[in-house]
Structure 1
Amino acid sequence: MAPSRDPRDERARAWSDGVRGELAVRLGPEVAPAVWVTGSVGRGEAVPGSDLESVAVVDDPDGRVVRRAVASTDLSPAPWFAETSAASAADPRLVRTRAGWSSAADDWAGDPARDLGVVHLGLLADARPLTDDHGDPELLPRLAVHAVRAHPGVLADILADALSTRASVPSRLTRTLRSDPVVDLKASVLTPVVKLARWAALRVGVTATATESRLELAADPRVLPADRWESLRAAARVTARLRWEVRLRAGSHDPDGPGTDRIPLSVLTTAERAGLRSAAREIAGAQRTLDYLRSSGELREPG
């Protein structure tokens, strides 16, 4: 797959920044500096309807003011349609001091089977400050990197999670097929490459949050050849672009909703289906290679 840049590829970043800005305004100057967005908004990869995930870094361990402010802020109506995730700074477990986050990250990396360690490290790795003038915008991703460096064994768990769902798209429509196959653009194609990129970044100490940046900065030719890393970047780009196209088309028919990631293949053009299948094949191929390297003990440590 040859990479191609397109102005449409910047839509997710712009939308994510819009969500960040709106949340900052609503929380106000007393609370906003403590709050970080994570997940797709933190990675700059959100679409209308994406979950809004957040954590907070506070000076006061109680954090009650921040929790109440986040809990009372609702971005689910139009135009954002951003449903507050269970991973929210309204939860006291996700509001900590800097030292508290450092200790928690170390605990999650040291014992990932306890307290959803892989998931929580992912939240830190994807986190981005709500405000652009933050003095240390890489704080939380850096804490995740340091924790993984101190407990490198957790990388096996992070990779296992990235390989747990193979990227796939249903076979093409045929006249003999009674039902219209449905594909989940996020779960079946995008999430696998997002997780692979996060694993690659944590493996080599990259603190970038965007999937494409991670795949570029963390590309290790001893793990995958350079052209495979480039193909993964192109696959992530193609899938994210298609996800936006689908949302825009859904919005033109239903202004009261942002559409969904689960779509019948029949709503895609022939070229879109071909591009999506090609992206899924590239991601699944990388997953198979990494699975083989992992099982054979040939996955080299970064050096």
Structure 2
Amino acid sequence: MAPFGDPPDERARAWSDGLRRELATRVGTAVADAVWVTGSVGRGEAVPGSDLESLAVVDDPGDRTVRRAVASTDLSPAPWFAETSTASAADPRLVRTRAGWSTAADDWAGAPARDLGVVHLGLLADARPLVDGHDQPDLLPCLAVQSVRAHPAVLADVLADALSTRASVPSRFARNLRSDPVVDLKASVLTPVVKLARWAALRAGVTATATDARLELAADPRILPADRWDSLRVAARVTARLRWDVRLRAGSEGPGTDLFPLSTLTTAERAGLRSAAREIAGAQRTLDYLRSAGELREPG
């Protein structure tokens, strides 16, 4: 990848913040104070059409006010096109007290094979308060980190999930075999680096939610050289920028899609995307080797 120095694209952060503010307005002040966004919105990496995922921290989980307000809020029309995810504060399982979230996090980390432990820890790690000025804005990420410290074996499951899909983009030679290869930008490139960054953050005790910040703050030179961590940041930035550019080309036809033919990209865009995928896949191969050889060292 090119030397690190390219500034992050702020479009996703601005879109995520706008979506947070819109949701806060829709549900009302009393409810907004209890709601946390997570997933791509929580990480500040949303695009038009991103799923809207949320959790809630309440005093009384039996009170249905928050659940009803979230369930009745629809941000799927233009301009947001945000479909409410199944991971939503409309679900009573995702509305808990602080103590309830702490107990749940400990249970998920202690038995990750039960109740989608890795997935739920990821929701906590990515969570951000719906409104600014929260007295403990990293409360839920802190609970995820604490549960991992108490049950460090879960990191093997988090890493296995991050390595389960190897980053890839069809090569130019594939065009000789198929008329127009199609790439899923999110599944094939973006999700692998997001998951790697989340694993690194949980491992290092970092509560930042953004992928770029995680790759910076959780970089461990004993696992990957500093320049490889920087290259992962570049790869994530290149992919995120391209994702926005492709979405904008949809114009008034809708929110766009992460699944598109390679022919819709310029030569430079294809080269950049393939370079990003190779960098992410290379890091995955290294981590896979270290995992299999038992050489992953604990931070400290």
* Alignment TM class, shorter chain as reference: over 0.9
Query: Which residue of structure 2 lines up, in the alignment, with residue 203 of structure 1?
Result: 203
| 2:161 alignment partner, SS class | helix
What are the Cα deviations for residues 249-297 of structure 1, in whole angstroms up to 9, with x where unaligned? 112xxx1411100010000000000000000000000000000000000
Shift of residue 171 of structure 1? 1.3
Shift of residue 3 of structure 1? 2.6
Asked if 1:5 corresponds to 2:10, the answer is no
Shift of residue 176 of structure 1? 3.2
Contact 2:175 2:181 in 1 (8 A): no
In the alignment of these two chains, the number of paired residues is 299
Residues 164-183 of structure 1 aligned to structure 2 (within 5 Å): 164-172=164-172, 176-183=176-183
The one-letter code of the counterpart of 2:188 is: S
What are the Cα deviations for residues 76-108 of structure 1, in whole angstroms up to 9, with x where unaligned? 000000000010000000000000000000000
| 2:54 alignment partner, SS class | strand
Taking the aligned partners of 2:174 and 2:290, their CA distance within structure 1 comes to: 37
Taking the aligned partners of 1:3 and 1:197, their CA distance within structure 2 comes to: 17
Asked if 1:261 corresponds to 2:258, the answer is yes
Shift of residue 174 of structure 1? 6.4
Residues 61-72 of structure 1 aligned to structure 2 (within 5 Å): 61-72=61-72
Query: Which residue of structure 2 lines up, in the alignment, with residue 117 of structure 1?
Result: 117
Taking the aligned partners of 1:131 and 1:58, their CA distance within structure 2 comes to: 15
What are the Cα deviations for residues 182-221 of structure 1, in whole angstroms up to 9, with x where unaligned? 0001000000000000000000100000000000000000
Asked if 1:78 corresponds to 2:75, the answer is no
Please, which runs of 5 or more residues in structure 1 have no aligned partner?
none
The one-letter code of the counterpart of 1:214 is: R
Residues 10-25 of structure 1 aligned to structure 2 (within 5 Å): 10-25=10-25
| 1:152 alignment partner, SS class | coil
Query: Which residue of structure 1 lines up, in the alignment, with residue 274 of structure 2?
Result: 277
Asked if 1:244 corresponds to 2:244, the answer is yes
Taking the aligned partners of 1:261 and 1:18, their CA distance within structure 2 comes to: 21
Query: Which residue of structure 2 lines up, in the alignment, with residue 48 of structure 1?
Result: 48
Measured on the aligned residues, the alpha-carbon RMSD in Å equals 1.0
What are the Cα deviations for residues 222-251 of structure 1, in whole angstroms up to 9, with x where unaligned? 010000000000000000000000000112
Taking the aligned partners of 1:120 and 1:204, their CA distance within structure 2 comes to: 19
What are the Cα deviations for residues 20-50 of structure 1, in whole angstroms up to 9, with x where unaligned? 0000000001100000000000000000000
- Give the fraction of aligned pairs with identical amino acids, expressed as a percent: 85
The one-letter code of the counterpart of 1:29 is: T
Contact 2:15 2:46 in 1 (8 A): yes
The two structures have a TM-score, normalised by structure 2, of 0.98
Gap change, CA 1:174 and 1:104, over 3 Å in 2 = closer
Taking the aligned partners of 1:38 and 1:119, their CA distance within structure 2 comes to: 12
Please, which runs of 5 or more residues in structure 2 have no aligned partner?
none
